[in-house]
Amino acid sequence: MNKYIELQDLGLKDYKETWDYQELLFKGIVDTKIQNRKAETPLPTPNYFLFVEHSHVYTLGKSGDISHLLLNEQQLIDRGATFYKTNRGGDITYHGPGQIVGYPILDLENFFTDIHKYLRFLEETIILTLEEYGLKAERSPGETGVWLDVGTPFARKICAMGVRASRWVTMHGFALNVNANLGYFDNIIPCGIRGKAVTSLNVELATKTVDEAEVKMKLLKHFATLFEAEFKNSPG
């Protein structure tokens, strides 16, 4: 089993361009797995972890409700945002500057074959990272993602999640609000959940900005521990 994960930080990158790139990496892993069935000496399957920041974009999961987007086409243009229907799970969410998006593209057969466990480990990565900033983040029953003050009138979501998996290969992932412009969430019913707020790490810490590079390092540390993996940087 290959427990090395190639880390790539793509910086600011268009959503569709990144989605196409994910699909390319995903297909490469799946193709290798198919070839391995007939191979005398199977090749190890690679794993990837992409960090990226997107320009303003709204994305809808395959089972999501388009009515949860509260903007028409012209209003999207006016706000400098785009919209895509995707093949991930979950409903509608927003991506934009000041948000750390993580896309693990893993062959889970290198780690464990349990999608439920995979999602819980993604959530735990966020929870442990936020704990380092003095925040008690937690899961909300029946609502994927990471929340603060669950079970109170002040419940608010700080990290959204939506994944796709086929042949035990994953894509898409999580979006953690770090220095996000929360006003963009007013244009949707986030994740299809009415009446609950969205927050960002800088808001919770009452500071103008949080060091995103530092947050990424903490995320990688906890992810590596949970998955018993080791990160290596992309060549070049």
List active site positions. Answer: 191
Distance of CA 213 to the CA centre of its chain: 16
Q: Is 91 annotated as a binding residue?
A: yes
Strand partners for 173: 162
88 is in an annotated binding site: yes
Whether 34 has a binding-site annotation, put simply, is: no
* Cβ atoms of residues 231 and 224 within 8 Å: yes
Determine if residue 161 is labeled as part of a ligand binding site.
Answer: yes
> How far lies 147's CA from each of 64, 117, 199, in Å?
20, 18, 9
Distance CA 190, CA 184 (A): 10
Ligand-binding site membership of 162 (annotated)? yes
User: Is 160 annotated as belonging to a binding site?
Assistant: yes
Closest CA to 163 of 67, 22, 54: 22
Is 165 annotated as contributing to ligand binding? no
Q: Does 93 show up as a binding residue in the annotation?
A: yes
CA 208 remoteness from chain centre: 23
The answer to whether the annotation marks 54 as part of a ligand binding site is: no
Residue 94 is assigned to a ligand binding site: yes
- Nearest Cα residue to 36 out of 80, 2, 74, 77: 2
213 Cβ neighbours under 8 A, 6+ residues apart = none
Helix (H) or strand (E) holding 223: helix 212-227
Residues that constitute the known binding site for substrate: 88-95, 160-162, 173-175
Residues that constitute the known binding site: 88-95, 160-162, 173-175
